[in-house]
Amino acid sequence: MKHLLSVRDLSAHETIEILDIAEEMHEVNSRDVKKLPTLRGKTVVNLFYEDSTRTRISFELAAKRLSADVINFSAKGSSVSKGESLRDTAQTLEAMGADAVIIRHPASGSANVLAGSGWIDGSVINAGDGTHEHPTQALLDAFTVRKRLHGKVSAGKDLSGLKVLIVGDLLHSRVARSAITTFSTLGAEVHCVAPPTLMLSNPSSFNAQMHYSLTDTLAIEKPDVVMMLRVQHERMSSSFIPSEKEYAKIWGLNKERFTGLPESTIIMHPGPMNRGLEIDSLAADSKQSVVLEQVSNGVSVRMAVLFKLLSGDRAHG
Ligand code: CP
């Protein structure tokens, strides 16, 4: 495996292999000295054309914990604002000896373009391209659920028998598109619920059941996991919801809906959260919430991805 562009490229076996390596990385991250020499001499570039807190920082930390050199490139404040193209930017990074480029870009398919362009020799990792995919988010989400369900050491385990409900702004969500694929690849039954204006434009190409009433879906399907999606105002060019108040009432995980869930239901959100809109703080800060576990597990999962793509046959123990 040279690139990670889409979770659709990963079989169940390959997905579980990455989660199992992430378990080992998680153990490394619990040590006093959280460092492995595995990627010493390698250079990893974070090439971010869109804002990010969690993904960029956790990729940086993951690469540093594997002893790689890290270059952080943000389009804001770079020569991109002077009109430099993706091709020229990529070739500049190549000239500096990048072994891997981690790209976040507002255009769907940009990671695939970079990987297939021949502009760079190194690996390409998709850190979120438009509304298309966010593969490492889906892997860290699956890792987080597996850890909550199966405990500390869960090597080899899939998510068979699990019911996952993904709620909200599916139309604009690369997180949802990747999550549906990864959870279903691992054997989970995936359900999605959204207002008609924010449903996926091509629902039949996903292995999930689509619904339009959150109240009914929670009552009938009784999901084990509820993943709330961020309402992506920045990708909305017109009005998709009547008002924030209405959205919170009809589509939000508000106090009433949250307290009606069994205590075993796992609550997820990829962040950043719009508190009071798609999720109430009572749910976000509850014991059932794994929002911060998702963040910390992101480091272990991204270490696993970098290890798999860049280590060759170097040992990681
Ligand atoms: N979940 C996620 O992608 O968060 P950031 O935008 O902060 O990276």
pLDDT digits (tens, 9 = 90+) for 90-127: 999 889 999 999 999 999 999 999 999 999 999 999 99
Count of structural domains within the chain? 2
Distance from residue 124's CA to the centre of ligand 1 (Å): 18
Which CATH number characterizes residue 245's domain?
A: 3.40.50.1370
Q: Reply yes or no on whether the pLDDT at 207 is more than 80.
A: yes
Q: Which atom of ligand 1 is nearest to the CA of 51?
A: 6
Residues 267 and 128 in one domain: no
In a domain, 315, yes or no: no
Tokens of 74: 């943000």
Residues 54 and 149 in one domain: no
User: What percent of the chain is modeled with pLDDT above 70?
Assistant: 97
Residue range 44-77, pLDDT digits in tens: 999 999 999 999 999 999 999 999 999 998 888 8
Instruction: Give me the pLDDT at residue 301, please.
Output: 98
Residues 74 and 173 in one domain: no
Q: How distant is the alpha carbon of residue 251 from its chain centre?
A: 22
Instruction: Give me the pLDDT at residue 238, please.
Output: 65
Q: Measured from the CB, is residue 316 less than 6 Å from ligand 1? A: no
Q: Measured from the CB, is residue 273 less than 6 Å from ligand 1? A: no
In a domain, 2, yes or no: no
Residues 109 and 241 in one domain: no
Q: Measured from the CB, is residue 52 less than 6 Å from ligand 1? A: yes
Distance from residue 52's CA to the centre of ligand 1 (Å): 5
Q: Whose CA is nearest to atom 6 of ligand 1?
A: 52
In a domain, 178, yes or no: yes
* pTM, 2 dp: 0.96
Distance from residue 177's CA to the centre of ligand 1 (Å): 15
Residues 38 and 160 in one domain: no
Residues 28 and 91 in one domain: yes
Q: Measured from the CB, is residue 276 less than 6 Å from ligand 1? A: no
Q: Which atom of ligand 1 is nearest to the CA of 56?
A: 8
In a domain, 285, yes or no: yes
Residues 129 and 277 in one domain: no
Residues 209 and 171 in one domain: yes
Residues 54 and 123 in one domain: yes
Instruction: Give me the pLDDT at residue 173, please.
Output: 97
In a domain, 317, yes or no: no
In a domain, 25, yes or no: yes
Distance from residue 290's CA to the centre of ligand 1 (Å): 15
* 290 band by pLDDT with thresholds 50, 70 and 90: very high
Full residue range of the structural domain in which residue 273 is found: 136-294
Distance from residue 137's CA to the centre of ligand 1 (Å): 8
Residues 156 and 289 in one domain: yes
Q: Measured from the CB, is residue 122 less than 6 Å from ligand 1? A: no
Q: Which of 51, 53, 230, 268 to mutate to test the pocket of ligand 1 (most atoms within 8 A of CB)?
A: 53
Q: Measured from the CB, is residue 271 less than 6 Å from ligand 1? A: yes
Residues 148 and 287 in one domain: yes
pLDDT averaged over the chain? Answer: 94
Q: Whose CA is nearest to atom 3 of ligand 1?
A: 55
Instruction: Give me the pLDDT at residue 234, please.
Output: 77
In a domain, 316, yes or no: no
Residues 77 and 171 in one domain: no
Instruction: Give me the pLDDT at residue 313, please.
Output: 55
In a domain, 1, yes or no: no
Q: Which atom of ligand 1 is nearest to the CA of 53?
A: 7
